[in-house]
Amino acid sequence: MVLLLIITASHQQTIKADSKINDYILQNRIKPAQIQNQEGTFSVWQGYRYGVGHPEGIVVHETSEPNVTAQQFTDRFNQNWPTLQTYVHAFVDDNQILNIHNTDYTVWGAGPTANARFIQVELCRVSSYDAFARSLSNDAYYIAQKLIQYNLPDVAGQTVLSHKQTSDMWHETTHQDPNYYFSTWGYDMDQFNALISSYYNNLKNHGDVNWQNPNVIKVDDPKNSFVPIVSFKDDGSVYTVSGRALANDSSWYTDQTKQLNGVTYHRIATNEWVADTYKI
């Protein structure tokens, strides 16, 4: 019997897109800010194409202006939207999530077709790695919460789109965000979608973006390209299994632990174990 790696949608969601920033967010168990409802001055109360309270997903924007906070952008939009002819549902930075228009109704952020279908959120530019990670955490949390609120599935490219994707699909705007900004941090929409999926599944199934299955371990050997597996002999000693190993940065279900010479081993198959020293 083999206890293979298995983290399904009903359990912890594993980040699939390779991303050091996602790892930083998850390993540090960054806690998103709470969503603050701060109704703004946008006075156009129009339902989506399927009616009030029926958005079909979310468009991800970024502000293209460094070091302006979510509150500062909110104040600016509230004062100037009639002249700017634009408005969004929310602004997010590394400290705050400000929902500024009821998401049951449309806004003006990505052209008529996208406006009639999607909630729209702006990510503020920040200047440090930690602030970028925290702003992503807040943005992913807002998006996951809104998908769950409206009973929408998490489907990249369908219920979660970048502004660039809506521009490419309907050609009603020329904006390419947030792709360039993400790229300045070595990040992309695939990685962000992976973070959103992690938050979405953990929120939906466990009510906590940082939920971790106590029976799942993640392993890595920074000195090698794989993690060794050992087996126990009848006399209690261990030997390294030949021809088998675990991939770095992979997650495994474990049902038992055993100790030898001060080292804890986690069982990942019938007589295959991995040392706790490789657990991350």
Average pLDDT over residues 44-63: 98
Residue 214: predicted pLDDT: 82
Whole domain around residue 238: which residue ranges?
216-278
Domain end point (choices 160, 186, 206): 206
pLDDT tops 50 at residue 11: no
pLDDT tens digits for range 198-226: 999 999 999 999 988 788 888 999 999 99
155 and 246 share one domain = no
Cα–Cα dist 248/207, whole Å: 29
Residue 4: predicted pLDDT: 38
Q: Do 91 and 100 meet the contact criterion of CB atoms below 8 Å apart?
A: yes
Domain end point (choices 175, 206, 237): 206
196 and 270 share one domain = no
174 and 258 share one domain = no
Give the CA count within 13 Å in the CB-facing half-sphere of 56: 12
- Residue 178 resides in a domain: yes
Residue 10: predicted pLDDT: 35
Q: Range with the lowest mean pLDDT among 2-6, 66-70, 123-127, 151-155?
A: 2-6
274 and 189 share one domain = no
pLDDT band at 268 (very low <50, low <70, confident <90, very high): very high
55 and 186 share one domain = yes
**Cα angle 205, 190, 4; round to 5:** 55
148 and 258 share one domain = no
- Residue 8 resides in a domain: no
- Residue 6 resides in a domain: no
- Residue 43 resides in a domain: yes
Judged by phi (left if over 0) then psi (alpha if -120 to 50, else beta), residue 24 lies in alpha
202 and 245 share one domain = no
- Residue 12 resides in a domain: no
Residue 15: predicted pLDDT: 39
231 and 105 share one domain = no
Number of domains in the chain: 2
pLDDT tens digits for range 18-31: 578 998 998 899 99
- Residue 65 resides in a domain: yes
- Residue 166 resides in a domain: yes
48 and 122 share one domain = yes
127 and 264 share one domain = no
Average pLDDT over residues 112-139: 98
DSSP 185: T
Residue 18: predicted pLDDT: 53
pLDDT band at 8 (very low <50, low <70, confident <90, very high): very low
What percentage of the chain reaches a pLDDT higher than 70? 94
Residue 34: predicted pLDDT: 97
Residue 251: predicted pLDDT: 85
- Whole-structure pTM value: 0.80
Domain end point (choices 144, 178, 206): 206
Q: What is the CATH number of the domain that holds 178?
A: 3.40.80.10
- 251 versus 272: the higher-pLDDT residue is 272
- Residue 129 resides in a domain: yes
Residue 149: phi and psi, rounded to 5, are -55, -40
106 and 230 share one domain = no
Specify which residues 91 forms β-bridges with: 98, 122
80 and 182 share one domain = yes
